[in-house]
Amino acid sequence: MTLKIAVVGTGKVARNNYLPYLAKQPDTTLRYFSRTPERAEDCARDFGGTVFPSVEALLADQPDAVLVLTHETQRADATEALLAGRPKRLFFEKPLVAKNGQAHVSEDDFLQARSLLQRAEAIGSETAMVFNYRFFAQTQRAQAILAERDFGKLTQASLLVNYACWSHCIDLLQLFGGRAAEVAALAGTTEHQGALDLSGAFRLENGATGTVLGTSGTKFDHSLYELHFAFERGSLHFSDLDGPLEIWDHATRYKETHGLIGNHSRWDQYRLSFEKSLAAYLESIRQGAPPPIPGRAGLEELQFEAALRRSVALQRPVQVQEELGLLLPG
């Protein structure tokens, strides 16, 4: 079985994070479309594959999956054009939709993303998300520990996050604790690199409570995020892309630290997480199985962000599922 993988958007994200791995797969062939044909031609030269002059021509080739790797500000328009051609599968970069960039996600972004996924569902197009932070070594180890040691349900969480990692970390919150029930938020008054800080308190559907702060004020040579998750019988702390995972186990009364061996940078970890994410996604196609991370996860992340923005605008708590429902099956 040879997989036809189409790539829409051939900028730095595609070149650096996706194509090096995809080009090495013996059962995968690549095809490209870009609004800038020269970029697509460069990718075909460097990684192999075929360039198509239009979305219509690309989809007429019946790819097994289309990777939507455009800039987030262009992703909604690209998806609109793709859905017209009824693709089999769509795989999205994060965030799912962000018309004004990932530091400025709005309620309208959530509503548009919801409409796009509803349309995909109606025509039978399977959707998936990258959310490669789920494939970091720390995240996978944490999931294994939670399963093996029965830490119980999430009870509290605290997130301090640079907007560069914002959607990923909200996804991790919901991975460990489930969907939000209620959110109350405030916006800062001082811009950092063109974006205001956004702070919120939340309650999840499982009863867990916590706080979240998004900012562009943290430096890239410092930790890009600090995540604390408290469970009924233990706690986890994540620090940055390649920082240690700290575990407090109530049963053993030990604190454990799991860290990468020296001489590994955050960008080594980052690159490898894309390979793991892509490997899992390609295998799901080969096996005819559901994607490892469904498109719904991307909508749930935007739902959380939309609730924060609505709370800021209306100056009141937001009942997330009642006011901003997903309106998707399941």
On whether residue 122 sits in a domain, the answer given is no
Q: Tell me which of 1-5, 277-281, 290-294 is least confident.
A: 1-5
Query: What pLDDT does 225 receive?
Result: 96
Distance CA 208, CA 229 (A): 10
Least confident of 76-90, 224-238, 246-260: 246-260
Length in residues, the chain: 330
Q: Flag whether 251 is in a domain.
A: yes
- Residue 268 clears pLDDT 90, i.e. is over it: no
Please check whether residue 186 lies inside any domain of the structure. Answer: yes
> What's the confidence (pLDDT) of residue 250?
94
Decide which of 148 and 242 is more confident: 148
User: Has residue 329 got a pLDDT over 90?
Assistant: no
Distance CA 126, CA 210 (A): 33
Backbone phi, then psi, for 255, in 5-degree steps?
Answer: -105, 130
Q: How many CA atoms lie within 13 A of 117 on its CB side?
A: 26
Where b means 16+ CB within 10 Å and e means fewer, 227-255 reads: bbbbbebbbbbbbbbbbebbbbeeeeeee
Average pLDDT, the chain: 96
Judge whether residue 304 has pLDDT over 80. yes
Name 23's Cβ contacts closer than 8 Å, sequence gap at least 6.
Answer: 30, 47, 48, 49
Kindly state whether residue 285 falls inside one of the protein's structural domains.
yes
pLDDT value at 261 more than 90? no
pLDDT in tens, 94-134: 999 999 999 999 999 999 999 999 999 999 999 999 999 99
The verdict on residue 163 lying in a domain is: yes
CA distance 201 to 189: 18
Which two structure tokens, joined as six digits, stand for 254? 């030990």
Count structural domains, the chain. 1
Provide, rounded to the nearest whole percent, the portion of the chain with pLDDT above 70: 100
Tell me, yes or no, whether 229 lies in a domain. yes
pLDDT over 80 at 257, yes or no = yes
- Give domain status of residue 179, yes or no: yes
Say which amino acid occupies 53: P
237 is a domain residue? yes
Q: Tell me, what's the pLDDT at 330?
A: 76
Q: List, for residues 49-60, the tens digit of each pLDDT value.
A: 999 999 999 999
* 51-66 CB burial, b ≥16 within 10 A, e <16: bbeebeebbeeebbbb
Question: How much is the pLDDT for 242?
Answer: 87
Per-residue pLDDT band at 265 (split at 50, 70, 90)? confident
Closest CA to 256 of 240, 273, 234: 234
* Domain range enclosing 265: 131-330
State the pLDDT at residue 33: 98
pLDDT score of 262 more than 80: no
Task: Dump pLDDT digits (tens) for 193-236.
Answer: 999 999 999 999 999 999 999 999 998 888 999 999 999 999 99
- Where residue 292 sits, what CATH number does that domain have? 3.30.360.10
Instruction: Say whether pLDDT at 264 is over 90.
Output: no
